[in-house]
Structures are given as structure tokens and as C-alpha cells.
Amino acid sequence: MKKIILSIALLASVSATQAQKYFTRNGHLGFFSKTNMEDIKANNESVTYIVDWTSGEIQISALQTNFKFEKALMQEHYNENYVESTKFPKATFKGKIENVNAINIKKDGTYTANVSGSLEIHGVSKNYTTKATFKVSGGHVVAETKFNVKCADHNIKIEANLKNNISESIEITAKADLTELKK
């Protein structure tokens, strides 16, 4: 009898663990470059976010060709000259919510947490730490953060004649409305 109870408890804990994953395939990633000459921004609304609330692991993946620019020509230059999207089609972030236990996804509220991990752009990975907010409401978790990335850190070269048009430091915004992942 004890074995049966133990097995049921184990099964329950396994399913409870699996239920701790949240995701979206419609997440947002945006970047913004500001110089005296011009502002350049692009948005990608088809970003996959997966968050495991048990381990705190967070995974973000985006396809480079899905960043939309106002001008088609800018988009072409971004894909061909800067991120070389044929060679490096994805941007990924793999990291961890450091104080994941401070976030109660069963209780509505706004929580802040440090997220750290490795961002790979243009085939080059670099570690980042940023503060993120997690707004829990009615079974959804809206995750949001903003941080800066230097082009040179990811081996993205800006031509000398465009140094005044493209900022060396790009502001990245990330936002995702996450719901429970059920198989």
C-alpha cells in the first residue's frame, strides 16, 4: 500500500514539475539604434520563449530574417551585411532566472528578478545579466526586460562611413506573454 501511495506521489510530483513550463511562440524582440543622424528600429513578433519555473531556465530563440524594419533596404542590409542571416539564421538566449523562487506564478502580482545567460548573435556568444519583470495575472505571465548590446561584442562590423548612422550600442527590448505549456 505504501508503495502505491509513494508511486502516486511520485507521479504527481513529476506532472507538477512538467506543469511548471510556460511558453509563447508570439514573443517580441526589438532593437533600437539612436544616433544624431538617424534612429533605426526593428521588431520581431515571432519569437519563441520557454521558461521553466522549476529550474529557472529560460530559452529565447528568434529568426534574424523576421526582424521587420520600416525600410526594405535597411532590412536587406541588416541580413546581408551585419548579421549574415544566411550563415547565422538565429539569435538565441539561454539563461537562468537567478531568484526564480521569489516568483510565485500561482499568485497574481509583479515580480522582479535577475536573468543571466548567454546571448548568441552572429555566431558569437556573450554573457549578459539584466533585471526583468514578471507580471503574473490570471494564468499568464508577462515577462519584460531591456538591455544594451555592443555590435563589436558580436563581431558585427559597421563600415566607417556609417559610424554616424548606426549606434555602437544597441538597445534590446524583450517582451513575452507566457502561458502554461501542456503536451
Partner 1 sequence: MLKKIVLFLVIGLAVGLAIGLYLYNKPHDTAADIEIFEEISAHDLYAKFSMDQKNALATYLNKNLLVTGNLESFVQDSSGTKWTLSTQSDDLGVVTVTFAEPLNQKPTLNQSVKVQGLCAGFLEGDELLGGEIQLNQAVVAQ
Q: Which residues bind partner 1 (CB under 8 A)?
A: 18, 21, 23, 25-26, 45-46, 48, 50, 59, 61-63, 65-66, 68, 71-73, 75, 86, 89-90, 181, 183
Q: Are 178 and 142 in contact (CB under 8 A)?
A: yes
Give 67 or 111: the residue with its C-beta nearer to partner 1: 67
Q: Are 64 and 79 in contact (CB under 8 A)?
A: yes
Longest distance between any two alpha carbons in the chain, whole Å? 77
Give 71 or 106: the residue with its C-beta nearer to partner 1: 71
Residue 114 CB, nearest approach to partner 1 (Å): 23
**What is d(CA 100, CA 79) in angstroms, rounded to the nearest whole number?**
35
Residue 108 CB, nearest approach to partner 1 (Å): 23
Residue 59 CB, nearest approach to partner 1 (Å): 7
CA angle 63, 65, 71 (to 5 degrees): 140
The DSSP bridge partners found for residue 150 are 169
Cell numbers at residue 122, please?
552572429
Give 87 or 106: the residue with its C-beta nearer to partner 1: 87
Give 59 or 133: the residue with its C-beta nearer to partner 1: 59
